[in-house]
Structure 1
Amino acid sequence: MEGVMKVSETQVRDVMIPRAQMVVLEHDWNLERLIAEIVESGHSRLPVIDESKDNVIGILIVKDLLSHAFDRREDFDLRALLRPAKYIPESKRLNILLKEFRGNRLHMAIVVDEYGGVAGLITIEDVLEEIVGEIDDEHDTDDDSAFIRSQGDSFIVKALTPVEDFNVYFQATLSDERADTVGGLVMMELGRLPKGGETVDLDRFHFRVLRADNRRIHLLETSLHDGREAAPPITENI
């Protein structure tokens, strides 16, 4: 019941996969590259773009491509296989979106901001996850804080934490020009969606991916490069 009540109060922007973490296909890729990207992603549905993520021209359902998997015809046209993309505002509430997903038998929607730009995407699985809850693992915590002190001088950081909040909390200077969230920065630095256990260094900080799936990063662990403790967190709430 708590999960059902939660979706009636939660907006799409709160649970969507951010733009920086969207896995997309280019409309002009050849069949071989398309298949390689699909296999790497593990997704059953993927947005297809024309040059920019702001120009999503449709959604590819992977099973629609199966009959072409061994087809080497030069006239292969990906556009002919695409389903129309559904666009929704960031402010739409999850309970309304769930009804639309079920009523129209859809599984994915593209999220747009107030200026019409693509802000991210959301799937029916993301909505249902809010109802039934995340599957617990060894790194899950019931604390609502974006920053949890881990072992020694390390902190667990939620991947969707805004870079600005991270900078305030740790007195850091990470740039938010490439991505809005800490998880987005990690993904941009690696150039792909990472797997659990992978590491990356950003400015003074060392990040390790604690939990990620084939859609996004969930949790990170951070510490300073040289093992020194991060700057003492400020005490005000963020």
Structure 2
Amino acid sequence: MSEDSSSSRLSSRGQDKSWLDKLMSSFSAEPKSREDLLNIIKEAAANQLLDDEAVGMIEGAIDVQERQVREVMIPRSQMVVIKADEGPSDFLPTIIESAHSRFPVVGDSMDDIKGILLAKDLLPLILNGTDGFSLDHIIRPASIIPESKRLNVLLREFRENRYHMALVIDEYGAIAGLVTIEDVLEKIVGEIEDETDEDDDGYVRKVSDSEYVIKALMPIEEFNEEFEAGFDESEVDTIGGILIRAFGHLPTRNEVTEIDNHIFRVLYADSRQIHLIRLTLPE
């Protein structure tokens, strides 16, 4: 090995050591604020001691300490729930269509939380059938938390108590929404997608040649173009609005109506709006 090569390598090591020493001395100086700490981390990244992904996760972990549940929760209007008095034939379509793994079980209202249903606990139905089935026997206790709870505290509780979903209440004790461990982790590592996630920009999912699941917020203009329909665009803007006008009221799940030979079945609706619809095209 040449002396020049050895000198170059030693020089490089010396620079690395210098940067490590500088980084360690910066930490030993005890940063006085969040901004001081972030500046140290960004300086380390600028000198290639950390990559962008690592910096993003560190910043996310720091940010979680200052955020509250209300900032990441799924709002009440978007919750997919199961009613305690429903049978498998009633709630299984909802579970299948939503592709979620956990569902709040409610009584007479959204504020009457009975527990949490895990989709995997329904697997025995495949072998045993529905004879003698009761939701009361398989639902699990629900964790109720205030919307002001800090995310870092909630994440610790998720880990320690080994649960993945919590119901969120507002200052008056009413259900404001729900939050999952995934919602919290996404604030640290970024968006987590799996095989059941749908494109947020897409309104239509094909089920068969004649059946589709569509979002009620789909603009009528796009619906007409997609399905070669001729629905009136003058009075309402979305296909959900067309359905409410056809029903004459805000429909509930499984209500069916036919418009110009197009059959619509409501898959998911709450007390405010329709969310998801199954469309059967005319033959």
Q: Give CA-to-partner distance per residue, 1:56-114, whole Å, 9 cap, x none.
A: 10001111111024544453211110100000000001000000000001100000011
Match of 1:64 in 2: 121
Distance 2:188 2:68 in 1: 13
Give 1 or 2: higher strand fraction.
1
- 1:31 deviates by 1.2
Name the residue aligned to 1:199: 219
Q: Conserved in 2, the CA contact under 8 Å of 1:48 and 1:56?
A: yes
2: CA distance, partners of 1:103 / 1:25: 27
Say if 2:147 is the partner of 1:127.
no
Query: How many Å apart are 1:199 and its aligned residue?
Result: 2.8
Amino acid at match of 1:96: V
Corresponding position of 1:29: 86
Structure 1 residues 194 and 93, CA gap change in structure 2 (3 angstroms): farther
Q: C-alpha distance in 2, partners of 1:203/1:53?
A: 35
Conserved? CA contact 2:217–2:238, under 8 Å? no
Q: Which residue of 2 aligns with 1:38?
A: 95
Aligned pairs for 1:97-136 (under 5 A) are 97-134=154-191
8 Å CA contact 1:31, 1:69 repeated in 2: no
Q: Are the structure 2 counterparts of residues 79 and 203 from structure 1 closer, same or farther at C-alpha, using a change threshold of 3 Å?
A: farther
**Aligned equivalents of 2:235, 2:168: Cα separation in 1:** 33
CA distance in 2, matches of 1:122, 1:194: 25
Give the match's secondary structure for 1:84: coil
Is 1:13 aligned to residue 70 of structure 2? yes
Which one of 141, 153, 164 corresponds to residue 96 of structure 1?
153
CA–CA distance in 2 between the matches of 1:53 and 1:93?
24
Answer with 81-90 or 127-136: which moved more: 127-136
The answer to which structure, 1 or 2, has the higher relative contact order (CA under 8 A, 6+ apart) is 1
Is the deviation greater in 121-130 or in 75-84?
75-84
Uncovered stretches (5+) of structure 1, i.e. residues with no partner: 141-155, 157-192, 209-238
Q: Which residue type is aligned with residue 75 of structure 1?
A: G
Deviation at 1:200, TM superposition (A): 6.4
Instruction: Check whether the contact 1:35–1:69 (CA below 8 A) recurs between aligned residues.
Output: no
Match for residue 82 of structure 1 among 139, 143, 148: 139
How far apart, CA to CA, are the structure 1 residues paired with 2:112 and 2:137? 17
Q: Look at both structures and tell me which one has the larger radius of gyration over its CA atoms.
A: 2
In the superposition, relative to structure 1, how do residues 203 and 100 fare at CA in structure 2: closer, same or farther (>3 Å)? farther
Size of the aligned set, in residue pairs, is 155
Q: Percent identity?
A: 51
Displacement, 1:134? 2.6
CA distance in 2, matches of 1:73, 1:197: 35
Alpha-carbon offset, residue 198 of structure 1 = 2.5
Structure 1 Cα separation of the partners of residues 92 and 134 of structure 2: 14
Q: CA deviation at 1:32?
A: 1.5
* Partner SS, residue 100 of structure 2: coil
- Normalised by the length of structure 2, the TM-score is 0.49
User: 1 or 2, which has the higher helix percentage?
Assistant: 2
